[in-house]
Structure 1
């Protein structure tokens, strides 16, 4: 099946949210689910030094970036959507939060004047990267991390849950499609783990959180991976 990726769709979605007066991807989702169910355990497993530098990839309007600042980290958030970054910057000013935000594509990171980070947080971005772009994604993460830096991963995985996702899913590519545009990759957990390892990371923590077919919540793969000292 031939397909394309359309990462610009996130900008269109955020523009629509802005028109509706919304200020984040999904109001309350970070506080209700992502932080208590996923991120808290991941940060404990990572043991990032207090004051360490963290890059959130796919930060959206900044929900997780603001939480990381509250935990004592120096945070930079990037997102492909300029509108999302505008929303994040506005919230940072309104709340006096010391966070840097930048609109850019993670695939372009090696060409950008970014510092090296102690940790990169996948802000639920990886499952939105499809096809050959996934190799470029991991290369970008490896590039922007300091030696021995940590990569925290939160990504959908497994067979599709719920009627809507199942109806858009192709078993051969394991992508979720909107017509011919691939919007999500629902790889098997073991396949995603293999991708991480082949990208020269050492896995230090792995957990799979089972989803729910009734609610449509997808299985989640949670990992902490350490950058190898040298590319091999």
Structure 2
């Protein structure tokens, strides 16, 4: 069954109407660990153009901007992007935001980035759409650029699918399968950290796009 990625639009509309600060409620933003986990890599670029995939209301982009990066965020949810732009104005933080479906094969990302961040987005991408998503990422990354993956991960060697209203909603792959996916696109694995959790684990992976010959 084909995924309905626009379910994320419905979730952002509900979050905004509920008075939350963002996805997952106010506590979810307060506990965000993605930025510090990315910064743990010593070989990362300390500045440059940064793109966040699945940026939501822009929380991570605003933080990365404060750290000296020139940030851009993309999300399939138009409500999330409008929200991100509103917050950028309110906070006085300069960041670009745009709406796009990263599973569309015809999509062209015209800019190149030194850093691309998976804002807990990859585990929302289902089946063959994952290779399209990762190929877009690879093409948008500068040579020697860093792609940072932050994803749910299965506790066994199998792939798991979570349904929402009977429609595929989350793709939870094993650590081994995720690493294979990234290598097959052409990325070089730099650092992998697995975080044990009760139902599904979480994994972060820093990868590099090799230099052009």
TM-score, scaled relative to structure 2: 0.91
**Residues 143-199 of structure 1: CA distance to partner in whole angstroms, max 9, x if unpaired?**
100112110010000149xxxxxxxxxx97511112431100111111111111111
Q: Deviations over 1:50-71 (max 9, x none)?
A: 3311100000001111111111
Structure 1: distance between partners of 2:29 and 2:13: 20
Unaligned runs of 5+ in 2: none
Give the aligned partner of residue 164 of structure 2.
178
How many residues are matched?
A: 212
Q: CA deviation at 1:18?
A: 2.1
Corresponding residue to 2:45 among 42, 49, 55:
49
Using the alignment, how far apart are the partners of 2:173 and 2:126 within structure 1? 10
Match of 1:226 in 2: 208
Q: Could you tell me how far apart the structure 2 residues matched to 1:75 and 1:219 are? A: 28
Q: Per residue, is there more helix in 1 or in 2?
A: 1
* Equivalence for 1:208: 194
CA distance in 2: counterparts of 1:87 and 1:184, whole angstroms: 24
Shift in CA distance, 113/179, structure 1 to aligned 2, threshold 3 Å: closer
Question: Alignment partner for residue 94 of structure 2, among 70, 75, 98?
Answer: 98
Distance 2:112 2:2 in 1: 31
Gapped runs of 5+ residues in structure 1?
Answer: 161-170
Cα drift, residue 102 of structure 1: 0.6
- The whole-number CA distance in structure 1 between the counterparts of 2:37 and 2:11 is 30
8 A contact 2:153–2:175 mirrored in 1: yes
Partner of 1:9: 7
Taking a change above 3 Å as real, the CA distance of residues 28 and 114 of structure 1, as seen in their structure-2 partners, is: farther
User: What does residue 83 of structure 1 align with?
Assistant: 79
